Amino acid sequence: MDNKPTVESVQALITRGPFHQWLGLQVQRVADGEIDIKATWRPEWVVNPDGGYTHGGILATLIDLTADWALVSTTGRGVPTIDMRVDYHRPAMKGDLVCKGKVVKGGKLFSSCEAQIYNAEGQLLASGRGVYAMPAPKTA
């Protein structure tokens, strides 16, 4: 990427997608190979009204997109997921989530990234790692 991404430029890219808009994503920090994103809690995330906890699919989604967007300083955009794993550590209850991602190993064809999801109290809710396809180099 020619220009260093800013919080504002990455926010504009991420919120182009209606699903990302629905998730209420707010880019908090962008650094070389790292990103922090806040996800605004929605009642539609609740899987069990009696328990009040967020569906694991929402957490998996946030792990995937946060790890993916950690590559933005290299790619300038999101890239396809090849493989991903998620570990759930505790239930995500009502409240906004803090998502932190970083590149573990950048490559020409594939990159490995990880992400963690925290609640407002700083408790780890979920973590995961993914492998992402890198874009083909631009030809002249």
Provide, rounded to the nearest whole percent, the portion of the chain with pLDDT above 90: 86
Taking only the tens place, the pLDDT of each residue in 28-50 is 999 999 999 999 999 999 999 99
Q: pLDDT value at position 58?
A: 97
Does residue 139 form part of some domain? no
Taking only the tens place, the pLDDT of each residue in 83-140 is 999 999 999 999 999 999 999 999 999 999 999 999 999 999 999 999 999 987 666 5
Does residue 45 form part of some domain? yes
**pTM over cut 0.85:** yes
Q: In the predicted model, is pLDDT for residue 2 greater than 70?
A: no
Q: Which domain holds residue 11?
A: 7-133
Does residue 95 form part of some domain? yes
Does residue 21 form part of some domain? yes
**Other beta carbons within 10 Å of 89:** 14
Cβ atoms 138, 89 nearer than 8 A: no
Does residue 115 form part of some domain? yes
Does residue 1 form part of some domain? no
Does residue 112 form part of some domain? yes
Does residue 2 form part of some domain? no
CATH number (domain holding residue 74): 3.10.129.10
**Other beta carbons within 10 Å of 49:** 8
Q: How many domains does the chain have?
A: 1
> What is the rounded distance in angstroms from the CA atom of residue 75 to the CA atom of residue 122?
29
